[in-house]
Structure 1
């Protein structure tokens, strides 16, 4: 049933995009494209140069088609990283795409990698009834997230039954009859365990191969990312690159905003992306979301800060919906009180983080948020209370007395 729902949802969204193409008079040509050449067409009196670029497309019917264009946007996305010691067979050992196509719930499920994708898939299949074991090579859980929130998240996920093994190195994984044998090492030595299915979720890589002819001079770094400036312009005049194929977090909303920016720039308008305020979300249950600086990053930079936290256990709305795990954490500058980072663990964190993004985009202080009125009862009140907690004035939890 879940596969049918997934297929219907994907088909609906795909058809919606196709309809938008038609309504906006956009031609959709399906095939493999290559930036083949560009040449200077003319030189204007103001010394600006017009370039005419040519794209070769290998169509699905194996025929070739060429197009002349002034501007090109590379948006080729990314693909799952594979491991030679655990080769994908799309049946027993799968990547993140294959993990969404199981025809039944695996009794025992192994996952390599406890990053965003590994946690999201593990959380889903655990709720559907799998016994989930996650193997992570690093000794720090969610090292890229605020460590206070990361540690609280780890406790919650482990209490839910997710078996998360840190500082564990995969040796190999291979299919044996109708199961997968996983060999790994940890602090106690070498081990072996069998699973019905194994998901490889060790990250993604940019799809940057065969984008252009070598003589075009498209600069791609050693990580496979297309080099761009702050406006997503590549080393080729008139060619832009956005999304997973360029620097920054591999997030759909980041790529979408970059695409909008580039379209506006091509149209001669002003637009930019604030890369300091890209919201991140892990769609587990409960969710984890954040924007801005982490506490460890501020410590490393030697920036003085203040912290305010408020637990959802003290929220009336969270109690009514039995969604009390987690909290909101606000970090503000110790001198200016300007909000530097917001980190949320809990139900609807993906929705609440937008309030933090808006606040920080307008340079709000924790006091600014504390002086606002929030509807009651709502989850968003936790954001209000956390802003009050920055100065020790939270209303619905016991806290140190304010010096004000």
Structure 2
């Protein structure tokens, strides 16, 4: 049994864990990171990156199919486009492999020791790691719990055979003819839309009365219209009960209490994710919990001295960039620097068709907080760049205080608006007012002009709408 010591031990090499390790190494902190799979965690290996690769494949196939169907769409003619999904998956795996190797290289460059295996706490300062060559004991002064999250199963539909999570959906060798998606949130609709574009007959089953319930209804209307255009059936206020005895259909309780059969080859369950709080010895620690999550303070400290927690295991929003920001902050704290979690906003992006971006407060959230607000909105149907990209659906919206015009929130729905999220976040973090955005020169022709126009609209003098 080998024993080593370090100043900082990180359990989990996902976005939060590996960023924490890299920054700690850069600051001269003796750091060890433990990971039982590949560096990069869920996001890089079986989540954010591979799903966006598959979405890109689906979009490119849609463009090619439109050209073939119209015999000259955009003045370009092609014939009989086909999808080799196995080849697409191989391309996706190549991207993931490059990024995974890149993370490993960055950890090595920062002087971080990587231990491959499953970590289990013995106490707050001692961890046993089960590796291929036997147990390794690690003594540490500080620990960061970055164990992430896992897909949620639902009663009557355990994962296995035809019932799959997003992990299996990203590694199909062939496009299923029929796909049932349980859950109308961002994961289900991102993947459901992609497979619909690739030729699958997709049915979405959502227990609530609308899709994407975490976004306000006005933002999601263009997405609902696009799903209809793609032939996706959306069953709202419906509950999945289980598989038919034959295994080729999903049984669904509809809004009127009746039972419906959804013929399907695969059932993709995307009803959310749960924090991984078991399997690493939590029972050996004295941690306060916030429901199913580990309770932390504004510096990601837990109830135990020297034990931190970051990322999905600490609660919503379960987003990679939140985990990264927390990890970087904790590394600075362990190194002796004075840092605190003080983010005005955490951007959220949904890569549906069209895409959604929300930063800060929506109009309803601002009003619920007792704020008097003025709202400016600009449609992409009046934006030249959006027209040239064939993405006229959607808009940019700015929410600001009535009294001093401080921007409280920014939202957008449209083709490619994910790339506007950085400007939106920066505006709120910098405490921008409507006049700041309206007075900033935005390059023409770009979709970003819609941001400026929305601010002008809130001030009462939009120029192009």
TM-score scaled by structure 2? Answer: 0.78
Match of 1:228 among 276, 296, 307: 296
Distance in structure 2 (CA, Å) of the matches to 1:330 and 1:158: 28
Q: SS of the residue aligned with 1:67?
A: strand
Distance in structure 2 (CA, Å) of the matches to 1:172 and 1:213: 33
Contact residue 386 and residue 394 of structure 1 kept, 8 A: yes
Unpaired stretches in structure 1, ≥5 consecutive residues: 39-52, 398-404
Q: Once the 2 structures are TM-superposed, how far is the Cα of residue 213 of structure 1 from its aligned partner?
A: 5.3
Equivalent position of 2:355 in the other structure: 287
Q: Once the 2 structures are TM-superposed, how far is the Cα of residue 361 of structure 1 from its aligned partner?
A: 0.7
Equivalent position of 2:93 in the other structure: 7
Q: Give deviations 1:310-334, integer Å, cap 9, x for gaps.
A: 1111111111111111110111111
Contact residue 343 and residue 429 of structure 2 kept, 8 A: no
Contact residue 331 and residue 340 of structure 1 kept, 8 A: yes
Equivalent position of 1:311 in the other structure: 379
Distance in structure 1 (CA, Å) of the matches to 2:349 and 2:104: 27
Equivalent position of 2:430 in the other structure: 362
Larger relative contact order, structure 1 or 2 (CA cutoff 8 Å, min sep 6) = 2
After TM superposition, the structure 1 stretch with the greater mean CA deviation from structure 2, 123-132 or 73-82, is: 123-132
Q: SS of the residue aligned with 1:97?
A: helix
TM-score scaled by structure 1? Answer: 0.90
Q: Give deviations 1:10-63, integer Å, cap 9, x for gaps.
A: 11111111111222221111111122124xxxxxxxxxxxxxx111112234x2
Q: Once the 2 structures are TM-superposed, how far is the Cα of residue 184 of structure 1 from its aligned partner?
A: 2.6
Distance in structure 2 (CA, Å) of the matches to 1:100 and 1:218: 35
Match of 2:165 among 95, 98, 121: 95
Distance in structure 2 (CA, Å) of the matches to 1:208 and 1:174: 33
Equivalent position of 1:86 in the other structure: 157
| Alpha-carbon distance change, 213 to 87 in structure 1, aligned in 2, over 3 angstroms | closer
Q: SS of the residue aligned with 1:138?
A: coil
- Does 2:259 correspond to 1:185? no
Residue pairs, 1:95-114, within 5 angstroms: 95-114=165-184
Contact residue 122 and residue 284 of structure 2 kept, 8 A: no
Match of 1:168 among 238, 241, 244: 238
Q: SS of the residue aligned with 1:29?
A: strand
Equivalent position of 2:185 in the other structure: 115
Equivalent position of 1:200 in the other structure: 269
Question: When the two structures are aligned, how many residues end up with a matched partner?
Answer: 379
Q: Once the 2 structures are TM-superposed, how far is the Cα of residue 182 of structure 1 from its aligned partner?
A: 3.0
Match of 2:338 among 270, 274, 279: 270
Q: Give deviations 1:359-394, integer Å, cap 9, x for gaps.
A: 111111112111111110011001011111112211
Contact residue 309 and residue 389 of structure 1 kept, 8 A: yes
Equivalent position of 1:129 in the other structure: 199
Distance in structure 2 (CA, Å) of the matches to 1:245 and 1:347: 32
Match of 1:155 among 198, 222, 225: 225
Equivalent position of 1:46 in the other structure: none
Distance in structure 1 (CA, Å) of the matches to 2:245 and 2:146: 35
Q: SS of the residue aligned with 1:70?
A: strand
Q: Once the 2 structures are TM-superposed, how far is the Cα of residue 210 of structure 1 from its aligned partner?
A: 3.2
Q: SS of the residue aligned with 1:161?
A: coil
Higher helix proportion (structure 1 or 2)? 2
Equivalent position of 1:141 in the other structure: 211
Distance in structure 1 (CA, Å) of the matches to 2:430 and 2:343: 15
After TM superposition, the structure 1 stretch with the greater mean CA deviation from structure 2, 193-202 or 183-192, is: 183-192
After TM superposition, the structure 1 stretch with the greater mean CA deviation from structure 2, 14-23 or 292-301, is: 292-301
Q: SS of the residue aligned with 1:143?
A: coil
Distance in structure 2 (CA, Å) of the matches to 1:323 and 1:67: 54
Match of 2:136 among 57, 62, 65: 65
Q: SS of the residue aligned with 1:335?
A: coil
Q: Once the 2 structures are TM-superposed, how far is the Cα of residue 174 of structure 1 from its aligned partner?
A: 4.8
Q: SS of the residue aligned with 1:176?
A: coil
Unpaired stretches in structure 2, ≥5 consecutive residues: 1-86
| Alpha-carbon distance change, 276 to 361 in structure 1, aligned in 2, over 3 angstroms | closer
Q: Once the 2 structures are TM-superposed, how far is the Cα of residue 188 of structure 1 from its aligned partner?
A: 6.2
Equivalent position of 2:16 in the other structure: none
Q: Give deviations 1:213-252, integer Å, cap 9, x for gaps.
A: 53531223332x1111111111111111111110221111
Distance in structure 1 (CA, Å) of the matches to 2:337 and 2:231: 51
- Does 2:109 correspond to 1:23? yes
Distance in structure 1 (CA, Å) of the matches to 2:335 and 2:178: 53
Distance in structure 2 (CA, Å) of the matches to 1:372 and 1:222: 44
